[in-house]
């Protein structure tokens, strides 16, 4: 592929729609850089949990904002896994940030404007040379409003909860389906109604409802769209 003809692919959507899975597939197929922005917010959430800054009845937002300069997030490619893992202050936290205790607080962390500002600046820096697939909640609306291809992923809450539940069970976590469904619904509400950079489908985004699609079917659909965008440059 012509290295000069590169685009930015922005994948937004609801929680547990498989945004990261699709983004990784596209990045590999196109030889692009993949950035999991959700993992960046999860890293901040994990830091807040480690330092007792957030719990079910407590959120020391002011202290967390003051400590943002102490939070260094990096991605390091793992050739054995085929994707980049997340590091917080040089510690690999890829496994820890995928746990339910992080999922339960990440949307709350993501509502803080100061945190979003810091991470958006990092995300824009990563994508300045294009050739990037980035997924999250506000990539097409805020981070890269001029992205050449914007995908908005959605699926029925029950479908997403079932997928997430099976994923967590396979990782050895002890969770119930009802707990996961409640988390999915709650995150939808928080993500869509927050004051700063809410989850929205932009007018130029292509909606992809994957309730009844296989991973291969959705990948083929979006890869075709990406190749057409690149060919049109």
Tell me the CATH number at 38. Answer: 3.40.50.300
- pLDDT for residue 4 is more than 90: no
Q: Is position 71 within any domain?
A: yes
The boundaries of the domain holding residue 193 are: 8-226
How far apart are the C-alpha atoms of 195 and 212, rounded to whole Å? 32
What pLDDT was estimated at residue 2?
Answer: 46
* pLDDT range class, residue 76, cuts 50, 70, 90: confident
pLDDT score recorded for residue 199: 95
In a domain, 106, yes or no: yes
The answer, yes or no, to whether residue 233 has pLDDT greater than 80, is yes
pLDDT at 3 over 80: no
pTM of the entire predicted model: 0.83
Q: Examine residue 3 and state whether it is found in any structural domain, yes or no.
A: no
Stretch 33-40: mean pLDDT, rounded?
A: 90
- Split into its structural domains, the chain has a count of 1
Q: How does residue 29 score in pLDDT terms, banded at 50, 70 and 90?
A: very high
60-71 residue pLDDT tens: 999 999 999 999
The number of C-alpha atoms within 13 Å of 49 and in the hemisphere containing its C-beta is 21
Q: Looking at the domain assignment, is residue 167 inside a domain?
A: yes
DSSP one-letter code for 98: G
Residue 233 belongs to some domain of the structure? no
Q: What's the DSSP call for residue 152?
A: E
pLDDT at 8: 97
Is residue 220 situated within a structural domain?
yes
- Amino acid 81: pLDDT: 81
What is the dihedral sign for C-alpha 74, 142, 201, 220?
Answer: negative
Within-domain flag for 231? no
- In tens, the pLDDT along 170-224 reads 999 999 999 999 999 999 999 999 988 999 999 999 999 999 999 999 999 999 9
Evaluate whether residue 2 is within a structural domain: no
Say yes or no to pLDDT of 23 above 70: yes
């Amino acid at each position: 592929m012509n290295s000069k003809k590169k685009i930015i692919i922005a994948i937004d959507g609801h929680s547990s729609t498989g945004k990261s899975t699709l983004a990784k597939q596209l990045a590999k197929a196109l030889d692009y850089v993949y950035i999991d922005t959700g993992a960046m917010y999860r890293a901040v959430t994990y830091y807040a949990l480690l330092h007792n800054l957030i719990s079910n009845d407590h959120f020391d937002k002011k202290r967390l904002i003051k400590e943002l300069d102490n939070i260094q997030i990096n991605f390091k490619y793992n050739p054995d896994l085929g994707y980049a893992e997340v590091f917080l202050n040089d510690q690999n936290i890829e496994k820890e940030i995928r746990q339910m205790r992080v999922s339960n607080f990440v949307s709350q962390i993501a509502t803080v404007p100061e945190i979003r500002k810091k991470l958006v600046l990092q995300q824009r820096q990563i994508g300045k040379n294009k050739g990037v697939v980035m997924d999250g909640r506000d990539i097409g609306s805020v981070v890269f409003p001029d992205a050449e291809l914007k995908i908005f992923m959605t699926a029925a809450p029950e479908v997403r909860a079932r997928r997430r539940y099976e994923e967590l069970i396979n990782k050895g976590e002890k969770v119930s389906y009802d707990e996961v469904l409640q988390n999915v619904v709650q995150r939808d509400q928080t993500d869509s109604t927050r004051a700063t950079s809410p989850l929205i489908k932009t007018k130029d985004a292509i909606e992809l409802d994957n309730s009844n699609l296989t991973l291969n079917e959705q990948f083929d659909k979006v890869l075709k769209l990406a190749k057409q965008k690149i060919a049109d440059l």
